Structure 1
Amino acid sequence: MFKIHQIPALETNFALILECTTTGEVALIDAPDAPPILNACKELGLTPSKIFVTHHHWDHVDGIAPLREHFDLTIYGPKAEAEQIGQLDIEVEPGTTLEFGNGHLNVIATPGHTFGHIAYFLVEQPTLFAGDALFSLGCGRMFDGPPDQMWAGLKRLRELPDATQLYCGHEYTLSNGAFAQTIGPTNKALLARIEQAQTQIDNGRPTLPTTLGNEKLTNPFLRADQIGIAQALGLDGSNPVATFAALRKAKDQF
Structure 2
Amino acid sequence: MPLDIVTIPCRTDNYAYLVKGPDGVCIIDAPEAGPIIAAAEERGWTPGVLMITHHHGDHTAGTDELKARFGVKVMGPKAEEAKLPPLDMALTEGMNGGEGEGYTVPLDVPGHTLGHMAFHFPNGGAIFTADSLMAWGCGRVFEGTMEMQYATMCKLAALPPETMIYSGHEYTTANGKFALSIEPENAKLISRMKEVEAARAAGRPTVPVPLSVELETNPFLRCHTPELQAAMNMAGADPAEVFAAVRKAKDNF
Whether these two folds match at TM > 0.5 is yes
Partners of 2:18 and 2:160 in 1: how far apart? 22
Name the residue aligned to 2:242. 243
Q: Is the 8 A contact 1:226 1:237 kept in 2?
A: no
Q: Is the 8 A contact 1:130 1:166 kept in 2?
A: yes
Q: Report the residue type matching 2:12 in the other structure.
A: E
Name the residue aligned to 2:113. 114
Quote how far apart the aligned CAs of 1:253 are.
Answer: 0.4
Name the residue aligned to 2:215. 216
RMSD: 1.3
Quote how far apart the aligned CAs of 1:101 are.
Answer: 6.7
Query: Where do residues 99-138 of structure 1 align in structure 2 (5 Å cutoff)?
Result: 99=98, 103-138=102-137
* Residue 32 (structure 1) aligned with residue 62 (structure 2): no
* Structure 2 residues not aligned, in runs of 5+: none
Q: Is the 8 A contact 2:101 2:122 kept in 1?
A: no
Give CA-to-partner distance per residue, 1:215-237, whole Å, 9 cap, x none: 00000001112232222222233
Name the residue aligned to 2:14. 13
Name the residue aligned to 1:76. 75
Q: Is the 8 A contact 2:101 2:124 kept in 1?
A: no
3-state SS, counterpart of residue 43 of structure 1: helix
Q: Report the residue type matching 1:64 in the other structure.
A: T
Quote how far apart the aligned CAs of 1:72 are.
Answer: 1.3
Q: Which runs of 4+ in 1 moved over 4 A?
A: none
Partners of 1:100 and 1:62 in 2: how far apart? 29
Q: Is the 8 A contact 2:137 2:220 kept in 1?
A: yes
How many residues in Structure 1 have an aligned counterpart in Structure 2?
A: 252
More deviation in 180-189 or 151-160? 180-189
Q: Report the residue type matching 1:246 in the other structure.
A: A
* Structure 1 residues not aligned, in runs of 5+: none
Quote how far apart the aligned CAs of 1:102 are.
Answer: 5.5
Name the residue aligned to 1:4. 5
Name the residue aligned to 2:193. 194
Partners of 1:189 and 1:235 in 2: how far apart? 21
Q: Report the residue type matching 1:241 in the other structure.
A: A
Give CA-to-partner distance per residue, 1:9-30, whole Å, 9 cap, x none: 000001100011x44x100000
Q: Report the residue type matching 1:4 in the other structure.
A: I
* Residue 89 (structure 1) aligned with residue 88 (structure 2): yes
Name the residue aligned to 2:154. 155
Give CA-to-partner distance per residue, 1:26-64, whole Å, 9 cap, x none: 000001100111111111111101011110000001110
Q: Report the residue type matching 2:65 in the other structure.
A: P
Q: Report the residue type matching 1:230 in the other structure.
A: Q
More deviation in 222-231 or 140-149? 222-231
Q: Report the residue type matching 1:169 in the other structure.
A: G
Q: TM-score, normalising length from structure 2?
A: 0.96
Partners of 1:102 and 1:147 in 2: how far apart? 33
3-state SS, counterpart of residue 244 of structure 2: helix
3-state SS, counterpart of residue 103 of structure 2: strand
Quote how far apart the aligned CAs of 1:103 are.
Answer: 2.7
Distance 1:192 1:59, change over 3 A: same
Quote how far apart the aligned CAs of 1:100 are.
Answer: 5.4
3-state SS, counterpart of residue 69 of structure 2: coil
Q: Is the 8 A contact 2:8 2:39 kept in 1?
A: yes
* Residue 206 (structure 1) aligned with residue 205 (structure 2): yes
Distance 1:129 1:100, change over 3 A: farther
Partners of 1:90 and 1:134 in 2: how far apart? 24
Partners of 2:163 and 2:65 in 1: how far apart? 32
Q: Report the residue type matching 1:26 in the other structure.
A: V
Percent of residue pairs bearing the same amino acid type = 39
Give CA-to-partner distance per residue, 1:140-190, whole Å, 9 cap, x none: 011012111110111111011111111110001100000001122222222
Q: Report the residue type matching 1:19 in the other structure.
A: K
Q: Report the residue type matching 1:207 in the other structure.
A: T
Q: Is the 8 A contact 1:138 1:176 kept in 2?
A: yes
Partners of 2:100 and 2:73 in 1: how far apart? 14
Distance 1:50 1:187, change over 3 A: same
